[in-house]
Structure 1
Amino acid sequence: MNRGPMRKTTPIADVIMHPVRMRIIQQIGARELTTTALRETLPDVSTATLYRHVAALVDAGIVAVVGERKIRGAVERTLALGERMAHVDREELQAMDAEQLRRAFLTYLGQVAERFDESLSSDDARARDYLGFGMTQLHVTTDDLADLQARLGEMLAPYLDPDRQGTRAVTLATILLP
């Protein structure tokens, strides 16, 4: 099924900077999920709330319906990330005021902290083998930064396949601060 065109041109930040919507995007990631599977991964979110936020993400083109099948008279949809990138780009960052940026950044940090807490509470004895964090200072121009981001995208592409044998999912989070 086609991942479909964007229906609305709502700024991405207005759509994704809600904690439930960010969690939906993170759960879908580079894979496809049925609405049933998505509900199971977010048991603390009511079904009505989940469907309302999924609809907002679909309307904005961030999430796409890539399949549908009938189950006992109801239609179960399969979801994937849409064509629109699920991140805030440079133009949208420039358009946000300080309070919007602060809220977006804190929402992002909350999601990173939630992932960290999940990894710490895992029963998997090897979970810490996959944990790491650090900071380094880079000296770049805006052109350098664009080049770096493009190269990172190319470098990471082979690791985005959830069906690769013998692998484990890890979250790579990046933050650029001037």
Structure 2
Amino acid sequence: MNKLETIMHPIRFRIVQMFLDGQSRTAKMLAKELKDIAQASLYRQLDALVKADVLLITEENQIRGTIEKVYTLNTPAVTMMNDDVKHLSKEEHMQHFLFFTTQLTADFQTYLANDEINFERDGVGYRQVALHLSDEEFLQYIQDLRKIFEKYMQFTPAPNRTKRIISTISMPKKEGKHNDE
């Protein structure tokens, strides 16, 4: 199974999302946050993620005759590069994109289920902008964006911090020729 197939499994995708804050977790901690996933399924999917090198076991603690494993995300393993996706057909790309947007929709639906939603207070928003950039300018934009993400991804969970999900999609907009060309 390739890296993309490993990550895009619905349960494994949700497990990986739990680690995007850079924190380590045990299966017990994950079970408390992912209550709708059966324990046997959770352990099976954790094992698959470890075997695929997506999650790393960083500690093993002896607890009442059992070993409790502490998992950490192997960030380079979940970073999709061109080599990871270039072999996919158009249909496979569309399936993976639809899965991504479905998960994004589910996250937004969970937010909307809260009793007191307040977009301004919670920093919730969605928008689409068009940037007119040369290939070089676009690469600089991506590098700048990565620097910003890296700066803020260093912050660890704390009582005064809210976990926020930031999702980005970028693609060129192919348009027909203009009349003045």
* TM-score (ref. length: structure 1): 0.84
Structure 1 gaps of 5+ residues are 1-9
Matching residue within 38, 41, 54 for 1:46? 38
Aligned equivalents of 2:135, 2:29: Cα separation in 1: 40
Percent identity between the two aligned chains: 24
Aligned to 1:67, what secondary structure does the other structure show? strand
Aligned equivalents of 1:157, 1:165: Cα separation in 2: 21
Match of 2:161, as an amino acid? T
After TM superposition, list the pairs within 5 Å mapping 1:1-178 onto structure 2: 10-29=1-20, 30-126=22-118, 129=121, 130-160=123-153, 161-163=155-157, 166-178=160-172
Structure 2 gaps of 5+ residues are 173-181
Q: Deviations over 1:38-88 (max 9, x none)?
A: 111111111111111111211122111111111111111111111424142
- Choose between structure 1 and 2 for higher RCO, CA contacts under 8 A separated by at least 6 residues: 1
Partner of 1:3: none
The alpha-carbon distance between structure 1 residues 167 and 119, as it changes in their structure 2 partners (threshold 3 A), is same
Aligned to 1:49, what secondary structure does the other structure show? helix
Match of 2:156, as an amino acid? P
The alpha-carbon distance between structure 1 residues 80 and 168, as it changes in their structure 2 partners (threshold 3 A), is same
Select the structure of larger CA radius of gyration.
2
Contact kept? 2:57, 2:70, Cα under 8 Å? yes
Contact kept? 1:39, 1:50, Cα under 8 Å? yes
* TM-score (ref. length: structure 2): 0.83
Match of 2:164, as an amino acid? V
Aligned equivalents of 1:54, 1:139: Cα separation in 2: 42
The alpha-carbon distance between structure 1 residues 134 and 105, as it changes in their structure 2 partners (threshold 3 A), is same
Q: Note the aligned Cα RMSD (angstroms).
A: 2.0
Alignment size in residue pairs = 169
Q: Deviations over 1:151-172 (max 9, x none)?
A: 2121122322223563211100
